[in-house]
Chains A and B, each alone.
Chain A
């Protein structure tokens, strides 16, 4: 009886595992950001790419900092992030051979609807950030070295503010959790528009400031270095990289709508 039990569980085990291991090899692993994943963009465009090329794209959505690290360690075949300065450095460091503009969206400032800092009347994002700091209104920062976090820190610098004090809360969280927290603590926060539009739990949060050129949020695709990590699926990754900037890929991005809004604007040259 004992033997039967052992044999049964072993065969169950191998059967189960056989099922899991049955995966085709024609896929690439893409390290990207939570904003692109959470907004549903990938769900819309990857099937079109797969239809054409039979290559599946497996998205690991993390913060931009972690995405860079994933690629640096050779754990991703391709990289799509939004931190132009960091991306250029990544190329300069020899981890990637090419960086291409793919699309952009923009950052917006959301906050409590009563707008205690009065930023909705600001003309520039510098003014808005200064008002928040001066009124010491609560501000929730990602604090996770993501692309959005890096953009936010640049904006504070441009506004001549060193963000610190009771009012400035570094959360160390992704965009979604940061929005959840900001809603809970009636704080302002900087978010990419895509995540904001896709976000379902705004409570009292509302969009208060948008439209400054400084809030431009560029996404770039990187072709990783075959020299640095020869084991990666460079051929497949190159097809993805090229498809993103092709007419077809750009159209797919432009066509994506969430709640009737276009979230990403293709701008490959």
Chain B
């Protein structure tokens, strides 16, 4: 690759000469993280809302555990998923190790606590405002969940972005369960690790800049959408 020591120049060259390898790495990164966040949202939004609305014994314990899991080291998540999906593990029969699906599972594990926990906070705050009115309208607690989730949607986009940020930035988990296989499970972050280990620091940093640019772009879009929605919907 480039012998230039300037990472920004390298990043620029990478983007300008976007070759098919880089394109597939970027695409896979986005696909894996997007699917992981979508699945985590599918599970985490109702879970967070349910935690916000229902009082049951052990609720505080669940909340504390979820909050703690927001800081789960990706390597640990990766290792657990590895042991789960390994042939010698309980789900080994599925043969999912070293596949993009395994990476999705690992990122799902990382992102779910973030989405569930932050959703709980958002929905709880909104519930304080809405509870009496919704109760007066005759809604059961269960029926309140979709209503509150939908009305909290602007804030929840930020929640999902936080999840996406964690998913797309982590390397420890996808490295272990994906194996960084060229063309199959190589994503932005594992490429960065690989290029660093080859001593190709400008290329590694260049890839990092592209990753940062992508995440920034996605955040900017979401922020603009959120601002517009906030102004429009009050």
Contacts and interface: CB of A to CB of B under 8 A. Distances in A.
A touches B (Cβ under 8 A): yes
B181 interface: yes
B73 interface: no
B90 interface: no
Contact of B197 (A2, A20, A29, A38): A38
A58 B181 contact: yes
Contacts of A2: 146, 150
B98 A58 contact: yes
Contacts of A74: 86-88, 92
Given A17-B35, A58-B181, A176 B196 contact: yes
A9 B38 contact: yes
Interface in B158-192: 179-182, 184
Interface residues of B, number: 32
B179 A180 contact: no
Nearest to A229: B87
A21 B101 contact: yes
Interface residues of A, number: 37
B98 A20 contact: no
A231 to B, nearest CB: 7
A58 B179 contact: yes
B199 A180 contact: yes
A229 B198 CA distance: 34
Contact of B199 (A43, A60, A73, A201): A201
Nearest to B150: A2
Interface string B112-129: 000000000000000000
B211 interface: no
A176 B201 contact: no
6 A-B pairs with the lowest CB-CB distances in the bound complex, closest first: A176-B197, A201-B199, A74-B87, A60-B179, A200-B199, A199-B199
